[in-house]
Amino acid sequence: MTFSEFKFCVLADLYRLDGQVSKSKLLKEILFGEAFKFLFWFRVCNWSRSTITLKYTLYPVARIVFNHYTYKFGISIPIGTQIDAGFYIGHFGCIIVNPECKIGKNVNISHGVTLGQANRGERRGSPSIGDNVYIAPGAKIIGKIKIGNNVAIGANSVVTKDIEDNAVVVGIPGKVISSNGANDYVALTDYMDKIA
């Protein structure tokens, strides 16, 4: 990850909070925010591992801070997990993401969500989440499945099969109930012109 990519991801994540990007807002969220603070240090760790100099200077310090916030906020997203720009954590607490997951841009994730690995069968592996996806509180997405773009996954749903674009999924097991997608759930995605 280059510094430009790192900066873009951090500012996109910041913009997704309330549509504002400024140095004072960034500092405020790093010092007093919760979920964004965790995500910021996640991004710092991933960026600082990319060069030899940073790997032995900034990364060890960033890793200590990141580990502290992992336990403090109850968010288990391992360093190295592929998460694109505009990631939004609505509420911290009990979020578990397998390191092999791939998460697209502008994904909203809520408390109590698990993106987990299946250890046997044809779906052995971890999920891949598309762009502009909303994952409601308590949802579980398990196995090597593909969640399409603009998908909304309802509270406490358990998803173990591929989901097409624009689907709304609810229940255990997760079933598609409409094709209205996540349009009203995933907001503030117009950051390209605002932070470039």
- Is residue 111 flagged as an active site residue? yes
Read off φ and ψ for residue 134, nearest 5 degrees. -110, 125
Phi-psi region of 61 (alpha: psi -120 to 50; beta: other; left: phi over 0): alpha
From CA 76, how far away is CA 37, in angstroms rounded?
14
CB proximity list for 5: less than 8 A, separation 6 or greater: 47
Q: Tokens 């609505």 belong to which residue?
A: 90
User: What single string gives the DSSP state of each residue in 68-131?
Assistant: HHHHHHTEE--TT-EE-SS-EESS-SSEEE-TT-EE-SS-EE-TT-EEE-B-SSTT-B--EE-S
Half-sphere exposure of 21 (CA within 13 A, CB side): 20
Phi-psi region of 154 (alpha: psi -120 to 50; beta: other; left: phi over 0): beta
Catalytic-labelled residue, pool 111, 113, 134, 185: 111
Q: Which residues are catalytic?
A: 111
